[in-house]
Amino acid sequence: MTGQGTRNPLRTAGNVAPHVPGDVHSPLKGPSRLWVARNADALRRKPAAPKTFLFSIIIPAYNYGRFVGRAIESALEQDGEDFEVLVIDDGSTDDTRQVVARYEDRVSYFHHANRGQSATRNRGIDLAHGRYLIFLDADDRLLPEALSHLRGAIEEDPEAGMIFGQHFAVCEQGIRVPGRLHPVMRTPMENFVDFLDRRFGICNGTAAVRRDVFDVVRYPEHIRNGEDLPVFAATLLHFPCRSINETLLEVNAHDGRVRRNIDAIRQTAEQVIDELFDPAHLPEEALRYRNLFAARKYLSMARSFYRSGHYADSRRYYRKAVAVQWRRLLNTTATARYFKSYIRQALALLGLDPQSHV
């Protein structure tokens, strides 16, 4: 097992052909000049590690020893010899290190004191040797042939800054919930707006992002939940992207994940909105979509709070959504949920709603 801050190579350059400039993968087009100018500090970062692999599968882990082995195995079982697997341990206090040790000859393991998901992802970016980075959550798993599907898309569209597929979720009761329908990519601005308006979503583990993108886009380390939203939005706006109609990922929607997300979104929702629409990050023409995103974000939070039994919080965020964009009143599902929450809360006071946190 590697020690703290050291690297245990998955494969060496001697047994896999390196990817060299001009070998299938043409230079990335983008980002906009405005984006580059506003992110000059990012361009002066220390150069990334030499690229040896086509893919780097990066698994950020924090106290998920009970799941991380499954995630690692799903990565190692992928076809091909052109990828590496890195586990970045964000200061776990459980048996994460011991679980990863079972794969010590095939996985690169790094450990640091707890700094949050964004800092852990950013460290993975700096340590990766792949041309495309895939962030696999430690409690999810890649489906067989996920990398094969992505390879095919890369060969067809080597200039894409991000290629992403579909996913489904499985809850603890074994119920399978499909992801959203395959979106059709349009112009960068249209893709950006469609993403903000939740006409399609992107799930970590389904997206292969060109390493070049992270020369100017990084995860905001002051945000502990939803940190991927600003990254996905900026990538869609400033780089050519592609969606493939293939299911690549199984999301483990276990109860612990739901509880953790509920606690985190209370603390970070406004931070995510402010980060995404920071004038230093977006061109002026994109800033006018702030209310669109905020309203959608608040409605999503209202739904999450309702499902978890936090009915007062659900109503509060529904009202915030309507205050930002009154036409959200026309969302009959959200409006019906708002009134149902009063009934559910009354039942909870009578002890008849076990889901409630009233």
pLDDT digits (tens, 9 = 90+) for 103-153: 989 999 999 999 999 999 999 999 999 999 999 999 999 999 999 999 999
Angstrom distance (rounded) from CA 119 to CA 222: 9
Tell me: cis bond preceding 283? Omega within 30 of 0 counts: no
pLDDT at 1 over 80: no
Task: Give the rounded percent of residues in the chain with a pLDDT score beyond 70.
Answer: 81
Contacts of 185 (CB under 8 A, 6+ apart): 191, 241, 242, 243
CATH 3.90.550.10 fits domain 13-258: yes
pLDDT at 33 over 50: no
Angstrom distance (rounded) from CA 28 to CA 351: 58
Sign of the alpha-carbon dihedral angle for 17, 19, 20, 24: positive
Per-residue model confidence (pLDDT) at position 173: 72
Q: What is the b/e burial string over 16-50, where b = at least 16 CB atoms within 10 angstroms of the residue's CB? A: beebeeeeebeebebbeeebeebbeeeeeeeebee
User: Residue 358 — very low, low, confident or very high, per pLDDT cuts 50/70/90?
Assistant: low
pTM of the model: 0.83
Token code pair at residue 57: 């599968």
Lowest mean pLDDT among 130-134, 205-209, 258-262: 258-262
Nearest of 323, 238, 228, 304 to residue 266 by alpha carbon: 304
